[in-house]
Structure formats: structure tokens, C-alpha cells
Structure 1
């Protein structure tokens, strides 16, 4: 009898282990079954190590890539191929955030019931949110410079333009590529932001400093902290909060950062999504990283003006810009076009009143400093930035949005090793936005 009891207990334990293993398998099957099904050894969907089924289109129905026969057939236009390769992908799958790599399950038509089987055997077509012509305009506008351009609809979240340089022609790849070629800087890059970061410091100041309306600073071009310098490009004279942002006064903003404090600055980069990795239809952008030392005043001051160890992801910054445009809530980006028009919102990043103040200040930046005449027909709200980089020319930034229900576009431009803020990056943004608005106008007529 005792032997029978022991055997029964053993059988029950084995059954429990078997059941637990089955549960683990089912959970993994649901969660990562698409990875199993799209593994390179699956000859049903791969030919010579490359996807053999599926097509990729831009938002207007232009074909960007067609898989088959162990090759990928791209657009017939070389500049289109080079402008969209980071969104579409290269033949060998080196760009991990591209559609060819990240959306394999969608291209092959995977689902948990039938796997990758389809009656036609042709897989699925996917339509991206990007517009090839806008991407091509951005690619041309960057010229010989490396960097990135991102534009999205801050109401729907659809990414319209996503261009990164250096790039390559995926139809005729070189034997050796420049460092950074396979990185989509808009999604995967983290870059010193310079003065566009002052939009974050400004929000923290508005919501935490009671006497901001009466705050002034007299800038001589240099501010000393413990014997070390904070410098501006010139002496700005006496500035208030509004003009300090417009003139991008480092000295004034270094003082504001000290008043705000390290812990508050740290909380705001998190609150405003600059350390967030967003789920963009299954693709995740890089998290920004920031340090605000409470025991090193000079470093804290530099961090508050977008230098020190600040590393910004352009996509996350674009979401924060959308929060300023959208009365405090950002819109999560997406890369796959959907006719449903649904959008996912972030938590409240900043107060609605704060967003209103920032919009007013950003508009003042354009009219008082950057020159509205440089952006004919565009009522843009913007902030420029010049990020110092060791042993190189500065990186130029220009970021903002159009506050118009017909053209709800937020943009960010980074031109590497180039020069100063709006003088270099501003014209790139203008060319892209002019093309986008004219295209949108034509489509609506």
C-alpha cells in the first residue's frame, strides 16, 4: 500500500511538472511565437537568408520594398532608397528598427492560429506612415551633413518623415560603410541636445519657481561658478525669462537651473518622457540619459542648458514637443498606417497653462530672433540649439511645431558637426515643412 501511495505521489508530481511546462510553453508561444515562426531557418518564408514574401509601401501607396527570390526590390529612385532605408531596411537586416527587421511577423502574415501559412503564400503588405517625398526632401536638405530629421502628426502620432545620415543605397550597398550608417538616429540615437533642452528647464521653472514673472538676469557673456565659467555666445544684457529663452542665454538659464534644483530637474526629464522608451508599433526608441549632480553646482548648471552629460533621443523630444502643442499630453508615435485614425496619449507631462506659456515663448523665439521671414507662410513655434561637441564643430538643432489644425506637425532637426542652431538647422526644417504643407494642401483640394 505504501509503495502505491509513493507511486501515486510521484505520478502527481510528474503531472504537475508536465502541466507547468505546458503552461510555460503556451505563454511563450503567445508572447514570442512570432519570433519562432520568423526564424531564418524557416525556408517557407526565407530564400537565401532573406524574406521571400511581403511588400512595404509608404503612406501614399508608393512601393518601397518587395521581397522575393532572395533579394529585395526597392524603389527605382536612388535618393528615395537612401532617404527611406532606415525606415524600410537593408537586405541583410542590419537596421534593427527597420520594417524589414522589426515587422517581419506582419510581412509574413503571422498569427497564433495559422502561423505563417497563407492560402496565396504571398504574405502581407504593410503600409508605413512615412511619406517618401517628404523623406527625400529631408535627405536633400541635410546635404553633405550627417544628422537626422523627424516629423510627425502630433494629433494622430503618425511619423511622416524619419531620415538619418550617414545612409546607404540598399540596392547597391558599399563594401564598407561609414560608422553609424546602420543606426536610425531618430529612433536609436542619443545626442547632446544643447539649448533645445531649455524647453524642459523652462517647464520646470514655470511650475516650480514662484517669482518667475519678476525674474531678471544681467548677462555679461560669462558667469562664474566656483571659479569656473558658464559662457554665452555674446553679452545679452538684462533679460527676463521670456527673452532669456529667445536669446538662449546660458548664463541666465544656469542660474534658473540652480534655483530649480537637481532633484526637480531629474523628476522633469522623467515626467516629460525624455527617459522613456516608447512602444512604436513594436519598435522601441532609445532612452535619453541625464545627470543632475546635487553636489556639483557647475555641472548641474551645464546640465540645465543641455550640455554636461545630457543625451537626448530625438523621438522622445518630439513627443515632448507634442505635449506643448497638445496642452500638456503627448502623442505616442506610430509607424504603421491605420485608417482608424486612433492615437495613444501619454500621461499629463506639463500643466495646460504651462503649455500655453511655452507656446507663447516659442512663438516669440521665431518672431524676435529667428526671423519669421525665414519661414514664409508657416506659423511655427520653435527653439534652436547649438550643442558643443569635443574636437568638432557644434551640432545644430531646430525643434518645434506648427500650431494649425490643418497642419498639426511637430519637427526636430539635428545637423551634426555643422554650426549654430537656427542658422544651419532652421533652413532644413523650413524646406521639409514647406514641402509637407504644400503636399497636404494639394491633397485636400
Structure 2
């Protein structure tokens, strides 16, 4: 064989190997991930020809499939659409799926391994395959109260049962109508998708569990207080300093004791008890407290409450974080929920709920039950404890401080007659020349009913004026149904 022929043979051999290798990779190795990719239109076309199980809240479907006369076979409807859209997500022949439609696609489509025997029974009996029914933990009254109270303002509300981790409300606003994306009119779907993605209000972002996250402001003082109690050096009655202003360590920056440049000292002779500092949300008190505890203690405490963990509820939750390698000024600023502190509303509901649950942090869960088409239960919610960062006795002290904050402090707007309500307001600065975010994190308990809640309203201003009344409406919907 002469040299040119050898070169041609070598090139052809290499091309054949590349072709064989790529074909093997895409058809064998990567087949599963490609089929599961929500951008794979072929997968969507195939799945639209199958019955898809409903997503149900309190016995009523909020997402369900109906037969159609077109080539797709079924269409997906959402009712009410926007209020539950951050939970359900969308199911689109053009853009794939999001939310629970994506997270539980195998269950809803009937392709999950857990549904093998159901598929086998359907095949033997000649029935068309059926997707499973997913029953959520959401309380429709709490969801409606949160939706109505936010009234379209940018922000989020999360409510959960602190004893079980069941998520009772998960609202993000502004939202969108997933029906506009589930239409079989591809031109209309494309126009709706473009409009949603071009909207500066970011309606597709689930602010309750993700997005850019928020500085928690003074709601973070709950964690600093918990760390102080856990250290054994403090109780709710320990007297701590609270000067009107504080020059930050190794800095010329001055921290004021209250929002808006208010330099009123916390208590006579610039000192108060830890409980009084919580009631009046004294910045300098908690900055000095956090500095005394140190970065390691704060980092350890927040990690036990779930910071840094990427939870699956089964929606994916962005981890909440605080800064690292902090100097004295940064520790002081972090201790009042500023600097690099970033949280989800779900995280702050977990924090507030832990104090109502005797110091236990429960894993938040959104799915109550999964049933086959013949109503057989294939999975059911089991409460799972993530951690216990605080003893029951210290959790009781936290509740006393939080109740005092609502009864005779910054959280008065969250009071509910005849109900034990504890909480903490927050006013989180986040951008020069921008109004602060409004926060409330707390709990309500009446008889056997307990709910923990976190509310954030973007650029809402004082937490006491905006977020606390929203929290009251949501808590009341649960404890006084």
C-alpha cells in the first residue's frame, strides 16, 4: 500500500471510530440524561401522548391533563394558575417543564420505577398507562391568604408546620399563568415565554426558595440570640450593652442602633437585657453580641439550622449563606443580617419554626402522598428531623423573647387575639438609594395548631409595617381556620 492510500485509510478509520464512539455515547451512555432533559422536544412529544397524573391540594386538582383531538393527545390545565405556579411549574410542548412538573416528572408521567407494578397491571388489563396523583401538603386557606396579602408586590411567603416540616404555603410574587405555556399553539407559547423572560419583575423566579436570595436584616438576630443561649454564657435576662452608635472595629464606619440613623440607646445607661434588645431590635447590641461570640460560633450555628444545604422539597432550594473569613467590622454587620448574609424565605421559616418545635429543625416537605390511578398509596410523607441545634429549654427562652417582641416590641402588627404569636421583624438594606426589604419571621400556636412563617416584601420598608401584617393573615388562616 502506497503512502497516500495509507493516509486515506488512516483518516477513514479515525472518522469511523469517531462516528461509532459518538453514536454509542448518545444512544447508550447519554440516552437517559438526554431523554430526561426538559429541552428535548422529542421527549415532550412522546410524553404528551400519555395521561399525566394530577397535582392535588386538599382533594382539588391544581394541575391536570385532559384528552384533546390534536396530535398531542392531552393538554395540561392549571387552576388557579398563577397562585400555585411557583410550585407546579409548567409543562410545555415548546419549552419543556419546570417546578414540580420537572422535579416529579417520572411520577406524574407514570415512568417512575415505583410505578412498575401499576404499569404492568395496566398492560395486562389493556388499560392506557396512567400517571400517579401527587397530593401536596399545602393548606389552600394559607396559600390564598399569602397570595392575597402580598397583592402582587415583589416578594414571597412560606408557611410550614414546625412539628412535621409540611409546607403549608409557598407563594412567590409576581407570578405567571402556566396555562399560557401549556397551550398547543406554539406561536402563542413563544410569545408568552418571551414576555415572561423580558419582564423586569422576573415572574418566573421562585423567590420563596431561590433567585438572588435576600439579606435577612434583623430576622437574623434570631440566630445570633440562639447562638448566645447555646454558648451557655447568656440567658434572655443577661444584660448586654446597646449604645446609640457603634464605631465598627478597625473601621471609621458607624452603626446606628436603629434603622434610619436613629441613635437612641437601648435601655438606660446604654444597656438592656437580651430580651429587651430583641424586642426593640437593637443593632448595636447584636453587633457586639455577635462579635463576642465570634465567626466560628455563628458559622456553626447557622449550619445547624440548614445554611449551606441544598434541600430538595422536592423542588431544589438554593442554600442560604453567610460570609466567611470575616474581620471584626464584617462580623458585627453580619450579626444584624447584613454584609454577605443571604437567605431564602423558606430558610427563615425553618429557623422560626425550630423554636416552636423545642429546638428541632424539621426537613421541609411539599409532597404529602403519591397514589396510583387505583388509589393505592406508593409513598407518604414521613417527618424527618434535620438537626436539633438548640435545647428545649433554650428554645423556650427564644419563644419568650419572640412573644415579647410581638406583644410589646417591633412585631405588634403580627398579634392575633387569643393566640400565642412570637416573631422578629427585619428591615434589610441591600442597595444604595433603594428602599429596604421588609421581613418578618415567626410562629403562631393555638391549641394543637402551630405554624411558622417567613415573609419578605422587596423594597417594602419597615418589617413592622409591611411584612408583619402579611404574616398575621397567613398565621391566622392556619390557627383560626
Residue 361 of structure 1, aligned match among 401, 418, 433: 401
Deviations 1:103-136 (A, max 9, x none): 1111112243469674332322211112334322
Q: Which residue of 2 aligns with 1:183?
A: 205
Q: TM-score, normalised by structure 1?
A: 0.82
Instruction: After TM superposition, give the deviation of residue 91 of structure 1 in Å.
Output: 3.6
Deviations 1:34-56 (A, max 9, x none): 948997534785238xx752211
Q: Which residue of 2 aligns with 1:15?
A: none
Assess if the C-alpha contact under 8 Å between 2:219 and 2:440 holds in 1. Answer: yes
Q: In structure 2, what is the Cα distance between the partners aligned to 1:97 and 1:196? A: 31
Q: In structure 2, what is the Cα distance between the partners aligned to 1:229 and 1:264? A: 24
Q: TM-score, normalised by structure 2?
A: 0.76
Assess if the C-alpha contact under 8 Å between 2:223 and 2:302 holds in 1. Answer: yes
Instruction: After TM superposition, give the deviation of residue 399 of structure 1 in Å.
Output: 0.9
Q: Which residue of 2 aligns with 1:87?
A: 87
Deviates more, 1:220-229 or 1:362-371: 220-229
Deviations 1:324-361 (A, max 9, x none): 11112111111111396631111222222221111111
Assess if the C-alpha contact under 8 Å between 1:273 and 1:349 holds in 2. Answer: no
Instruction: After TM superposition, give the deviation of residue 323 of structure 1 in Å.
Output: 1.9
Q: 1:129 to 1:417 in 2, by over 3 A?
A: same
Q: In structure 2, what is the Cα distance between the partners aligned to 1:150 and 1:104? A: 24
Instruction: After TM superposition, give the deviation of residue 203 of structure 1 in Å.
Output: 1.0
Residue 428 of structure 2, aligned match among 382, 387, 394: 387
- State how 1:259-298 maps to structure 2 within 5 Å: 259-280=292-313, 282-294=314-326, 296-298=327-329
Assess if the C-alpha contact under 8 Å between 1:65 and 1:74 holds in 2. Answer: yes
Assess if the C-alpha contact under 8 Å between 1:292 and 1:299 holds in 2. Answer: no
Q: Which residue of 1 aligns with 2:359?
A: 328
Q: In structure 1, what is the Cα distance between the partners aligned to 2:474 and 2:348? A: 18
Residue 390 of structure 2, aligned match among 350, 364, 370: 350
- Mapped pair 1:400 → 2:477: no
Q: Which residue of 2 aligns with 1:217?
A: 241
Q: In structure 2, what is the Cα distance between the partners aligned to 1:217 and 1:284? A: 41
Instruction: After TM superposition, give the deviation of residue 223 of structure 1 in Å.
Output: 4.2
- Mapped pair 1:63 → 2:57: no
Residue 311 of structure 1, aligned match among 320, 332, 342: 342
Q: In structure 1, what is the Cα distance between the partners aligned to 2:44 and 2:95? A: 20
Instruction: After TM superposition, give the deviation of residue 272 of structure 1 in Å.
Output: 1.8
- Partner of 2:366, secondary structure, is coil
Q: In structure 2, what is the Cα distance between the partners aligned to 1:94 and 1:412? A: 32
Q: In structure 2, what is the Cα distance between the partners aligned to 1:103 and 1:308? A: 36
Assess if the C-alpha contact under 8 Å between 1:156 and 1:341 holds in 2. Answer: no
Q: 1:395 to 1:351 in 2, by over 3 A?
A: same
Query: Where does structure 2 lack aligned partners over 5 or more consecutive residues?
Result: 1-23, 182-191, 370-376
Instruction: After TM superposition, give the deviation of residue 156 of structure 1 in Å.
Output: 2.2
- State how 1:36-435 maps to structure 2 within 5 Å: 41-42=42-43, 45-47=46-48, 52-58=51-57, 60-68=58-66, 69=68, 70=72, 71-75=75-79, 80-92=80-92, 98-112=99-113, 113=116, 118=122, 119-172=127-180, 174=192, 175-177=194-196, 178-179=199-200, 180-189=202-211, 190-208=213-231, 210=233, 213-225=237-249, 226-231=251-256, 232-233=258-259, 234=262, 235-238=264-267, 239-280=272-313, 282-294=314-326, 296-338=327-369, 342-369=382-409, 370-371=411-412, 374-390=415-431, 391-435=433-477
Q: Which residue of 1 aligns with 2:5?
A: none
Deviates more, 1:106-115 or 1:266-275: 106-115
Instruction: After TM superposition, give the deviation of residue 237 of structure 1 in Å.
Output: 3.4
Q: 1:155 to 1:95 in 2, by over 3 A?
A: farther
Q: In structure 2, what is the Cα distance between the partners aligned to 1:114 and 1:41? A: 26
Q: In structure 2, what is the Cα distance between the partners aligned to 1:223 and 1:375? A: 39
- Partner of 1:120, secondary structure, is coil
Deviations 1:296-330 (A, max 9, x none): 21111001110001001222222222221111211
Deviates more, 1:171-180 or 1:236-245: 171-180
- Partner of 1:263, secondary structure, is helix
Assess if the C-alpha contact under 8 Å between 2:444 and 2:475 holds in 1. Answer: no
Query: Where does structure 1 lack aligned partners over 5 or more consecutive residues?
Result: 1-20, 440-445
Assess if the C-alpha contact under 8 Å between 1:84 and 1:132 holds in 2. Answer: no
Assess if the C-alpha contact under 8 Å between 1:265 and 1:292 holds in 2. Answer: no
Q: In structure 2, what is the Cα distance between the partners aligned to 1:106 and 1:147? A: 30
Number of residues of Structure 1 aligned to a counterpart in Structure 2: 405
Assess if the C-alpha contact under 8 Å between 2:444 and 2:479 holds in 1. Answer: no
